[in-house]
């Protein structure tokens, strides 16, 4: 479909219709159809082309314009807009440039404002960076000029309508059945688990899958910058989301405030979607004050690197000696699960480590499972998690949960 045709018809619809009127979607669609059918008298189209044209025009006014078909395409996992003329998508871990573009920079800016206003966010020249989400739960990150040199930039991370279960992750080789069973027992026994990994390694997807092991009779509070988690197995669920300051610089609600507020809600567990800064100290203190079984994620290159990053995060929010911070980490977090995106673009669990405490002034880790590559066939990495000789040392939570005798051969 030629973009010139779409632009002409959009201009005609703007002239003919009152776009600010309270017209229902059905009525608006009917008006678009009349415009298209009238235009087709001199420009014949097939029935399917007419349908596509009507949908495209509707989406340009009341949907996500060019992005709507991409949002409806289940094979697209990420949409990247580097400016109104430069669009990329990710399918099956591979990036490709799209052969079309927005009609103007102004149209992209209008779309961005429509997205952020729908979730009570503000983005402008004075606040040029914002995280938001769409109605379907997709995560949106926006950067405006002058920070973005090419023009308005938007990245959309899509999530499946139905969150993946651990069995799905086992089926695609992200984790082995044995390691998943270990994690099931650890979640049931209320071990504090931290998921680490790089950008796009599948941390949120894995956290969703892990949360399905939480007993349904517990009370859970989730805390996120922009709500992404899809926890559907626990009915007693409170979801909290941070809020940016308004145009006057007031009304901001930070992750730290939400973590503190959650402690007054009598949660059995607290799930922090991702820690990035000073809220790490509040998360660790919550884990150390009776909220066992809590889960969180963070960016790092390895489980060991995550320890150093957590120290840096805590230092950004509290003036504490490093020895005290390490003691907090060593007593709060029980298990680190590290995910990686391999060279074949597959997402795998590559480490499951236990924090055994603080030894010689350092947070001590021992690897329970590590990823071993066996071969590479047709560009695909063949391998999986292998159990190490180390056995779980912190067993008292298993004993408290009545699981001490379960699976002792690999615990």
Split into its structural domains, the chain has a count of 3
Residue 13 shares a structural domain with residue 126: no
Task: Show the 3-state SS of the chain.
Answer: CCHHHHHHHHHHHHHHCCCCCCCCHHHHHHHHHHHHHHHCCCCCCCHHHHHHHHHHHHHHHHCCCCHHHHHHCCCEEEEEECCCCCEEEEECCEEEECCCCCCCHHHHHHHHHHHHHCCCCCCCCCCCEEEEECCCCCEEEEECCCCCCCCCEEEEECCCCCCCCHHHHHHCCCCCHHHHHHHHHHHHCCCCEEEEECCCCCHHHHHHHHHCCCCCCCCEEEEECCCCCCCCCCCCEEEEECECCCCCCCCCECHHHHHHHHHHHCCCEEEECCCCCCHHHHHHHHHCCCCCCCEEEEECCCHHHHHHHHHHHHHHHCCCCHHHHHHHHHHHCCEEEEEEECCCCCEEEEEEEEEEEEECCEEEEEEEEEEEEEEEECCEEEEEEEECCCCCCCCHHHHHCCCCCCCCCCC
The predicted structure's pLDDT at residue 121? 79
The predicted structure's pLDDT at residue 94? 86
Closest CA to 191 of 399, 348, 371, 408: 399
- Residue 407 domain flag: no
Residue 77 shares a structural domain with residue 102: yes
What pLDDT, in 10s, does the model give residues 87-146?
999 997 789 999 888 888 988 998 899 888 877 778 888 889 988 878 777 889 999 999
Domain boundaries, position 45: 1-62
Residue 191 shares a structural domain with residue 147: no
- Residue 258 domain flag: yes
Residue 80 shares a structural domain with residue 111: yes
pLDDT at 69 over 90: no
What pLDDT, in 10s, does the model give residues 352-390?
999 999 999 999 999 999 999 888 888 888 888 999 999
Residue 122 shares a structural domain with residue 178: no
Lowest mean per-residue pLDDT among 48-62, 251-265, 273-287, 303-317? 48-62
Residue 228 shares a structural domain with residue 345: yes
Q: Give the domain-ending residue among 158, 183, 200.
A: 158
Lowest mean per-residue pLDDT among 40-44, 181-185, 273-277, 403-407? 403-407
Residue 86 shares a structural domain with residue 175: no
- Residue 410 domain flag: no
pLDDT at 351 over 50: yes
Residue 44 shares a structural domain with residue 80: no
- Residue 405 domain flag: no
pLDDT at 342 over 60: yes
The predicted structure's pLDDT at residue 281? 92
Specify the pTM. 0.81
pLDDT at 407 over 50: no
Which range in 3-12, 153-162, 206-215 is most confidently predicted, on average pLDDT? 206-215
What pLDDT, in 10s, does the model give residues 245-299?
776 777 889 999 999 999 999 999 999 989 999 999 999 988 988 889 999 999 9
Question: Which pLDDT band holds residue 220 (cuts at 50, 70, 90)?
Answer: very high
Indicate which CATH number applies to the domain containing 91. 3.30.450.370
Residue 150 shares a structural domain with residue 233: no
Q: Give the domain-ending residue among 128, 158, 188.
A: 158
The predicted structure's pLDDT at residue 348? 95
Residue 173 shares a structural domain with residue 246: yes
Question: Which pLDDT band holds residue 195 (cuts at 50, 70, 90)?
Answer: very high
- Residue 316 domain flag: yes
- Residue 406 domain flag: no
- Residue 392 domain flag: yes
The predicted structure's pLDDT at residue 409? 53
Residue 206 shares a structural domain with residue 91: no
Residue 235 shares a structural domain with residue 373: yes
What pLDDT, in 10s, does the model give residues 138-179?
889 999 999 999 999 999 988 877 788 999 999 999 999 999
């Amino acid at each position: 479909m030629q973009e010139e045709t779409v632009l002409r018809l959009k201009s005609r619809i703007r002239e003919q219709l009152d776009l600010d009127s309270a017209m229902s979607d059905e009525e608006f669609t009917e008006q678009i159809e009349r415009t298209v059918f009238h235009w087709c008298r001199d420009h014949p189209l097939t029935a399917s082309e007419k349908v596509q044209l009507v949908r495209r025009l509707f989406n340009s006014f009341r949907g996500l314009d060019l992005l709507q078909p991409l949002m409806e395409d289940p094979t697209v996992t990420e949409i990247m807009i580097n400016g109104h003329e430069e669009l990329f998508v990710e399918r099956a871990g591979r990036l490709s440039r799209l052969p079309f573009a927005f009609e103007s920079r102004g149209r992209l800016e209008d779309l961005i404002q429509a997205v952020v206003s729908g979730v009570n966010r503000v983005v402008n020249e004075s606040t040029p960076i914002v995280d938001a989400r769409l109605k379907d739960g997709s995560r949106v990150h926006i950067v405006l000029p002058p920070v973005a040199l090419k023009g308005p930039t938007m990245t959309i991370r899509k999530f499946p309508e139905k969150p993946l279960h651990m069995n799905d992750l086992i089926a695609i080789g992200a984790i082995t059945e044995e390691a998943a069973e270990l994690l099931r027992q650890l979640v049931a026994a209320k071990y504090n688990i931290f998921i680490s990994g790089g950008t796009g390694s599948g941390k949120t997807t894995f956290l969703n899958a892990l949360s399905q092991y939480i007993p349904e009779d517990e009370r859970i509070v989730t805390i996120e910058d922009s709500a992404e988690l899809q926890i559907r197995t626990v009915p007693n669920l409170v979801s909290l989301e941070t809020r940016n300051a308004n145009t006057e610089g007031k009304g901001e609600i930070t992750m730290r405030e939400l973590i503190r507020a959650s402690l007054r809600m009598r949660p059995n567990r607290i799930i922090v979607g991702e820690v990035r800064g000073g809220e790490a100290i509040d998360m660790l203190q919550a884990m150390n004050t009776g909220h066992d079984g809590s889960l969180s994620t963070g960016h790092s290159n390895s489980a060991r690197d995550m320890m150093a990053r957590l120290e840096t995060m805590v230092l950004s929010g509290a003036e504490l000696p490093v020895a005290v911070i390490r003691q907090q980490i060593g007593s709060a977090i029980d298990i680190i699960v590290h995910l990686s995106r391999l060279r074949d673009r597959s997402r795998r669990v590559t480490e499951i480590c236990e924090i055994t405490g603080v030894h010689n002034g350092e947070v001590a880790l021992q690897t329970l499972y590590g990823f071993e590559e066996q071969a590479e066939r047709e560009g695909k990495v063949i391998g999986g998690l292998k159990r190490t000789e180390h056995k779980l040392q912190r067993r008292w939570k298993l004993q408290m949960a009545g699981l001490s005798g379960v699976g002792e051969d690999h615990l």
